[in-house]
């Protein structure tokens, strides 16, 4: 990977590693009407302890910034995250599969997870090198079902644990998994899953075009972990910002998103 400009020199930095970007790539069968690029559809995968509704709200600024260029469609992760008081009560557990594609009419929905690094406790720690984990297959099936029932989608947009899942989906697509038809991925505050069973997804470089967005002040997913994930992609684009663990959408970052999306 090329050396990134240090944050003290530039607060926001966007670089295509390995090649110049910014030139729209014509897509067979997609017409450009009146010179306007086609509206892209992105399937959005929220972070741990978030849900479809909360992530929709947290990406409001990004949706506004990309209005007319990209549509963001969020779905729920399949696993319910139990409240701390419930961890000793197995009877309170619910898979919540009926919540996958519905936005609650009011109130906050329960927190969700894509998988657990501690199966016994049904919790997740991004930095934990877990010997085993639980729930990934259900997470992949959720993404596949969304692609089939809500698609087609041009790309994936994942945040935190959702970005880690999106990277695995990219690896599976590269291996010929037809469940995941998309052309690119935007990975925000992403990281390489440290669960031992997931190591097989990163044995070879991932070819999917990718934009990796990282916060230099992120204390939940340190920027170094997002750069580590980017290194597993063949020609990643990297957007760094001075903030923490959130989806950035300021003017300079909007320009970087649009520059990346202009390729599709």
Q: Where are the domains of the chain?
A: 39-83+110-261
Q: Of 74, 160, 210, 226, which residue is the catalytic one?
A: 160
Please tell me the number of Cα atoms within 13 Å of 24 on its side-chain side: 14
pTM of the model: 0.80
Q: Of 54, 56, 87, 245, which residue is the catalytic one?
A: 245
Question: What is the phi/psi pair of residue 261, to 5°?
Answer: -65, -20
What DSSP designation does 106 have? S
160 is an active site residue: yes
At 117 the pLDDT is 92
Question: Which are the contacts of 135, defined by CB distance < 8 A and separation ≥ 6?
Answer: 78, 79, 113, 114, 115, 116
CATH 3.30.365.10 fits domain 39-83+110-261: no
Nearest-angstrom CA–CA distance, 155 and 118: 30
At 84 the pLDDT is 65
* Upstream peptide bond of 152 is cis (omega within 30 degrees of 0): yes
Look at residue 47 and give its three-state secondary structure. Answer: coil
What tokens does 26 get?
């014509």
193 is an active site residue: no
At 108 the pLDDT is 54
At 146 the pLDDT is 98
From residue 95, how far is each of 85, 90, 206, 254 by CA, in Å? Answer: 18, 12, 31, 36
Helices (H), 17-111: 52-58, 60-65
Q: Of 13, 79, 154, 218, which residue is the catalytic one?
A: 218
218 is an active site residue: yes
At 82 the pLDDT is 86
**C-alpha of 147 from chain center:** 15
Look at residue 133 and give its three-state secondary structure. Answer: coil
Nearest-angstrom CA–CA distance, 116 and 80: 10
Nearest to 48 by CA among 211, 183, 162: 162
Nearest-angstrom CA–CA distance, 258 and 11: 18
Nearest-angstrom CA–CA distance, 153 and 138: 20
pLDDT by 10s per residue, the chain, length 264: 333 333 333 333 444 433 323 323 334 334 444 677 889 999 999 999 999 999 999 999 999 999 999 999 999 999 999 876 554 444 333 333 333 443 333 335 699 999 999 988 899 999 888 888 999 999 999 999 999 999 999 999 999 999 999 999 999 999 999 999 999 999 999 999 999 999 999 999 999 999 999 999 999 999 999 999 999 999 999 999 999 999 999 999 999 999 999 999
């Amino acid at each position: 990977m090329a050396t990134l400009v240090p944050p003290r020199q530039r607060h926001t930095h966007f670089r295509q590693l390995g090649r110049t970007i910014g030139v729209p790539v014509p897509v067979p069968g997609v017409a450009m009407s009146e010179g306007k690029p086609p509206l892209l559809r992105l399937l959005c995968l929220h972070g741990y302890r978030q849900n479809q509704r909360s992530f929709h709200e947290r990406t409001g600024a990004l949706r506004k910034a990309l209005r007319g260029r990209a549509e963001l469609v969020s779905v729920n992760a399949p696993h319910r995250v139990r409240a701390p008081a419930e961890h000793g009560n197995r009877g309170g557990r619910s898979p919540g599969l009926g919540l996958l594609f519905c936005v609650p009419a009011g109130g906050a929905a329960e927190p969700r997870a894509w998988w657990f690094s501690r199966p016994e406790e049904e919790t997740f720690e991004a930095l934990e090198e877990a010997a085993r984990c639980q729930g990934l297959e259900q997470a992949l099936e959720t993404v596949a079902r969304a692609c089939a029932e809500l698609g087609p989608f041009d790309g994936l947009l994942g945040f935190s644990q959702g970005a880690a899942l999106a990277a695995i989906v990219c690896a599976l697509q590269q291996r010929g998994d037809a469940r995941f038809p998309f052309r690119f991925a935007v990975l925000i505050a992403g990281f390489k899953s440290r669960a031992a069973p997931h190591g097989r997804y990163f044995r070879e470089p991932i070819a999917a075009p990718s934009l990796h967005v990282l916060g230099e002040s992120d204390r939940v997913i340190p920027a170094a972990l997002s750069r580590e994930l980017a290194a597993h992609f063949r020609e990643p684009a990297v957007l760094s910002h001075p903030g923490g663990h959130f989806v950035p959408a300021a003017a300079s970052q909007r320009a970087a998103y649009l520059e990346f999306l202009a390729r599709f």
